[in-house]
Structure 1
Amino acid sequence: MPSEKNTNSPPTHPQRLSFRDAPAGRCIMRQRWSNLLFLHWPIDPACIRARIPKGLHVDTYGGEAWIGVVPFSMERVHPVGLPPLPWISWFLELNVRTYVHDDQGRPGVWFFSLDCNQPIAVEVARRFFHLPYNHARMSAKCDLGEINYRSLRRGGAEESYFRYRPPVDGKPAQEHSLEWFLVERYRLFATDRSGHIRCGRVHHTPYQIESADGAEWSAESIRENGFELPSDPPASMLVAGPVDVSIYPLGD
């Protein structure tokens, strides 16, 4: 008899590649992500394993789990069939995330928090996508080609800050590299009110990335999520150009 499939097996490279393709089904929302900064630190997989639900497994690279901090701008956010609205379709977001896969070997993102300065977006994401959004006071200003990005979560004690330059000559991440593992993610996981794991798909062209040389950063958002502040600089610092994104409904 064939042996039972190990449901904790990591995704194969062909599996990871396959999720670049647009999923079947109806796109429900469109948006643009821009001014992206990706900061990542290695972390003991046991620290992540204790914080994710049963049915998800830590996705590792080089034997390490990874925790990421990603500030960026959300633009032109709108449901399919409706136009963007000036007062609610442009806002900022700062997320803290890690990387997981499910029992089917599907790789994706698990969010510990998503801070946002648009209250309507916070409520919609909480209710319909079951994501841990928080309202925050945020700003992003461009000064002499640098983005100065600040975020203070409502009720938070310390502000997160980032200073970085958008990419000049970005290129797609090289397959099998750490950068590819970190940024080539087209699925998110969440748990609904009943504790069931739900997953959502996004589709966009691959990020055009380059090293975020000279970037300044804070890791306060990591501490706010119950992790120790990293003692070392990020092992990976990347900036990415804008991408137009299609959002699909949550499923199983």
Structure 2
Amino acid sequence: MPDFSLSSALLADAGAPTLSARVALRDRPAGTPLLRQEWGDLLFMHWPVPAELLQPYLPPRLTIDTYDGMAWLAVVPFRMSKVRTRISPPVPGANEFLELNVRTYVHLDGVPGVWFFSLDATNALAVWAARTFFNLPYLRANMSLDSPSPQLRQFRAQRTHPSAPAATFRATWTVGAPLPPAEPGSLAFFLTERYCLYASNKAHTKLYRGRVAHAPWPLSSANVLHFESSLIESHGLPTPAGLPVLHAGGPVSVELWPMQRV
């Protein structure tokens, strides 16, 4: 059970990433990526929450990343396609699937990144590979994404992973007008321009960091017409209050490098 006795005073964002460090992570890493893929039909749903609420769920060395003193909790559905390794073309039947993640933002040694509470996916091979080789908490789920019109999206998910807490998700949203590129230092930049991800083993005794490279997100406005979900609650977290900050995103071509222990 997480320790909720931490006070906000103990969570002062010491060692928080500088703006220049955040911008520098846009540069493509050296070396050859392990995977390439495309992300599209994406919806960012972000809620501000007190940092002390999320900090107990993290490995000891990670610190919640904050914007204007608040942590951010997100649910993100999207379509992954053109998935391939650095040495192989896309494999029919395994190169496109739906994903739905619950995430927050963290930093370590001044390097900001994403921490995933869960990543539900429809592809059994992807779930196995991510859990085995990336230490990421992927879970099996049944999902569907429909686009009745160019602007309308309907996403449904039902978690099916053995021994994982049950969870469901349904959302209908419209994609609006394109937005200007996210300016460094803005909330949109903080929430969407993330080029590292963190993971740990189950005991939280080993910590890993991976790099991601892609062009800055092409963002659009979004309007959610219907939303119901138990994803956040499946992690023991309370339902966030208020309306989320919304962005529609994609498509972007993405490269991922191997996870490294830190």
1:220 CA displacement: 1.7
2:222 equivalent to 1:212: yes
Maintained 8 Å contact 2:171/2:224: no
CA contact (8 A) 1:60 1:66 kept: yes
- Alignment match, 2:95: 89
Higher strand share: 2
Mapped to 2, the partners of 1:47 and 1:159 lie a distance apart of 23
Structure-2 residue corresponding to 1:129: 134
Report the count of equivalent residues.
245
Q: Taking every aligned residue pair, what percent have the same amino acid on both sides? A: 40
1:72 match: 78
Q: 1:43 aligns with which of 41, 45, 49?
A: 49
Bigger shift: residues 218-227 or 63-72: 218-227
Gaps spanning 5+ residues in structure 1: where? 1-5
TM-score where L is the length of structure 2? 0.89
Determine the C-alpha separation between the residues in 2 that align with 1:20 and 1:28. Answer: 18
Listed one character per residue, the Cα deviations across residues 82-117 of structure 1 (whole Å, up to 9, x for unaligned) are: 110120110000000000000x10000000000001
Cα offsets for 1:94-148 (capped at 9, x unmatched): 000000000x100000000000010100000000000001000100011123111
Q: Evaluate the alpha carbon distance shift between residue 114 and residue 106 of structure 1 in structure 2; reply closer, same or farther with a 3 A threshold.
A: same
Residues 177-208 of structure 1, C-alpha deviation per residue, up to 9 Å, x if partnerless? Answer: 11110001000000136621100000000001
Over 3 Å counting, the alpha-carbon distance change for 1:121 and 1:167 in structure 2 is farther
**Shift, 1:18, TM fit:** 0.5
Partners of 1:202 and 1:167 lie apart in 2 by 27
Once the two structures are superposed, residues 206-234 of structure 1 have per-residue CA deviations (whole angstroms, 9 ceiling, x without a partner) of 00112212443234211112111123221
| Structure 1 ranges of 4+ moved more than 4 A | 155-158
**2:172 alignment counterpart:** 163
Query: One-letter code of the match for 1:131?
Result: L
TM-score by length of 1: 0.92
Q: Which blocks of at least 5 consecutive residues in structure 2 are unaligned?
A: 1-11
* Deviation for aligned residue 1:165: 2.8
1: distance between equivalents of 2:174 and 2:213? 25
Question: Is structure 2 residue 31 aligned with structure 1 residue 25?
Answer: yes
Q: Which residue number corresponds to residue 5 of structure 2?
A: none
CA–CA separation in structure 1 for the residues paired with 2:76 and 2:141: 15
